[in-house]
Amino acid sequence: VINGSGTVTGISVGGLPDSIVDAGTLADNAVGLAQMAGGTDGNIITYDASGNPAAVATGSSGQVLTSAGAGAAPTMATGTGFHAHNSVAQSISITTTTKILFQTEIYDHTSNYASSRFTIPSDGKYYLYTNLMLSAMADQGFANLVIRKNASTDMVYHTLRGSSTGYVSTSAFVTVDADADDYFEVFLYNTAACDVNYTSTGSYTTFGGFKLI
């Protein structure tokens, strides 16, 4: 009962009975942050498989929010990616297929990069890329730059020719479907001896990739 002075009577100790206040009772935008129950720092509000409010656990620094598809709440997960560059110049012999070395890791989220090889941590679609700067390559020489799967299948290759200056820059990139434990490396076949260039910043010769889906 609300009397003429605005005093409310007739409410038992403990407040209104359950289910008395519904969405139609409240005005739009009536509930603010101050009226919400406290939670855990860093959690994200979502809905569970039953359509009820739920919290996504905070996760760790650097993780990303990952969808689990319809019928399941998202989760925080570690990103899947790596990037590396060479730390010394590499000499490439004539008419040989040579594995290119990328000794310095810039990042490797899942610790799946080692010995200039990236091993797939989980099934999915991945984007891989590489860039080389070659020097001392004869004008009439040519080379094939390859991203190779499991040491046997060429996923992409790019053919380049030497130049009168002796310097050539080339790149290759590919989107691939891969299973866990597949691995990828970079190879170069050339008809003229040359060197893979090196800079302290690693800007010339790189190898990297990440999971798309």
| DSSP characters over 100-151 | PP--EEEEETTS-EETTEEE-SSSEEEEEEEEEEEES--TT-EEEEEEEETT
Cβ(85)–Cβ(140) below 8 Å:
no
At 187-208, the pLDDT tens digits run: 998 887 788 988 877 778 999 9
As a whole number of angstroms, the distance between CA 133 and CA 118 comes to: 21
Read off the pLDDT band of 114 (50, 70, 90): very high
Is the pTM value of this prediction over 0.85? no
Cβ(185)–Cβ(99) below 8 Å:
yes
* Cβ-proximal residues to 75 (8 Å cutoff; 6+ apart), any chain: 56, 57, 59, 65, 66, 68
% of the chain beyond a pLDDT of 70: 86
What 3-state class would DSSP assign to 49? coil
As a whole number of angstroms, the distance between CA 85 and CA 40 comes to: 40
By CB atoms closer than 10 A (0-12, 13-18, 19+), residue 94 is: exposed
As a whole number of angstroms, the distance between CA 155 and CA 88 comes to: 26
Strand intervals (E) in the chain:
44-47, 53-56, 64-66, 75-77, 81-85, 90-92, 96-99, 104-108, 113-114, 117-119, 124-135, 142-149, 153-161, 168-178, 183-190, 194-196, 206-211
At 59-106, the pLDDT tens digits run: 887 678 878 778 788 888 778 899 999 999 999 888 889 999 999 999
